Amino acid sequence: MLALSYDVVIPTRGQALDHLRATVDSVLAQTVPPARVIVVVDGRKEAEGAVKAVSPTATVLCLPEPGGAAVARQAGIAAATAEWVCFVDDDDLWRPVKMQVTAEYLSRHPECAAVRGSFFLFCAPASASDEINGQQVDFRATSLPELERAAAGATPCNDFSYLDIEGDSLALLLERNRSVIGTTCVRRAVLESLPAVPPRTHPGDDHLLACFIAARTEFHLIDQPLMYYRLHAQQSTRTAGSGAARNIIRSRVLAWEYCGPAVDRDLESYGPTYRREFRGLIWLLVRRRRLVEAVDAYRALVPLLPRLRDRLAVLVPEPLAWRWRKFVRTVLRRDSHGETVR
């Protein structure tokens, strides 16, 4: 069996300790074990003791004040000493062979400096949630052994072809979030060459980190599920908590400021994709009567939509936008001779 020198960085707020314990246990259960597990507590000193109790073999760091997952990951990267650094959130689970599969892939692709894979999506049996961002739950289970039994021979419910971005990693990451932080493995030398992901970018911080990495090296893809992504009600991507939309947009603006010059595409070409994504963010806030946040988020997105028509399109509710697109497709439908049919 191949060996691989890697450290694992787990940012946490130290709140869902059962989830954290399961995450750490899944990392320690790897058939190719880590050099070190680094758990970084994001500024909750009162949680440090409890985190150490559920992860006694890990190196536990505690930030002096909350800075978000980005700052916690940066502290973990600074503490890492192995050749490779892997990341996983404190509520997800690694498959036992994740790093064995990764080590085998890297042995066949020595030029690779950043690699990740796909995942299975799971939730608790009693959970009322069964999808996130259009992706469906694969399994309902509570433990890693249950998930492994369910996954034996299973095919993921979701299409992960969007993760295959090798050859154009940065341009495709700037277009949309194609990052999977919990399966990502990167050479430490690459991570140490990157600018730090700023605070106040959560939940867009992992996407921004992926853009920084892609500006240095191409992402490779292991085309199989390597992780179990846990779906639960407290996730910021589901709750759209205060400032979440603004932070997602801010992370995209920062990605362009840092990485845009390295992309052989102009910002305007992303307009149709961005306006659909941002329309969803803005109108979610409007429906929840968070009008101040909606205005704040809209102001933040202006640098990303240099064309006035794209900025105006964001202000159109999706049902109206859908009807307009349907109308245009009908009016501009062409017959077999290329003549416009009205």
User: Terminus-to-terminus CA distance in the chain, angstroms?
Assistant: 66
Which residues are CB-contacts of 131 (< 8 A; sequence separation ≥ 6)?
137, 231
pLDDT at residue 128, as a whole number = 75
Q: Across all residues in the chain, what is the average pLDDT?
A: 90
With a cut of 80, say whether residue 10 has pLDDT above it.
yes
Which residues are CB-contacts of 323 (< 8 A; sequence separation ≥ 6)?
none
Q: What is the mean pLDDT of residues 197-222?
A: 95
* Domain residue extents for the chain: 6-234, 265-331
Question: Mean pLDDT lowest for which of 126-140, 268-282, 313-327?
Answer: 313-327
DSSP letters for 141-207: -SSHHHHHHHHTT---SS--GGG--TTSHHHHHHHS----GGG-EEEHHHHHTSPPPPSS-TTSHHH
With a cut of 90, say whether residue 328 has pLDDT above it.
no
Question: Mean pLDDT lowest for which of 80-89, 120-129, 255-264?
Answer: 120-129
With a cut of 80, say whether residue 125 has pLDDT above it.
yes
Q: What is the mean pLDDT of residues 207-233?
A: 95
Superfamily of domain 6-234 in the CATH hierarchy:
Spore Coat Polysaccharide Biosynthesis Protein SpsA; Chain A (3.90.550.10)
Q: What is the mean pLDDT of residues 208-229?
A: 97
Q: How far apart are CA 42 and CA 33, in angstroms?
A: 25
pLDDT at residue 331, as a whole number = 64
Q: What percentage of the chain reaches a pLDDT higher than 90?
A: 79
Residue 200 pLDDT class (50, 70, 90 cuts): confident
With a cut of 60, say whether residue 325 has pLDDT above it.
no
Higher pLDDT, 338 or 277: 277
User: pLDDT tens for residues 68-95?
Assistant: 899 999 999 999 999 999 999 999 999 9
With a cut of 50, say whether residue 108 has pLDDT above it.
yes
Tell me the one-letter amino acid at 199. P
Higher pLDDT, 29 or 128: 29
pTM above 0.95, yes or no: no
With a cut of 80, say whether residue 336 has pLDDT above it.
no
pLDDT at residue 338, as a whole number = 58
Q: How far apart are CA 180 and CA 178, in angstroms?
A: 7
Output the six-digit token pair for 136: 């469906």
pLDDT at residue 150, as a whole number = 96
pLDDT at residue 131, as a whole number = 75
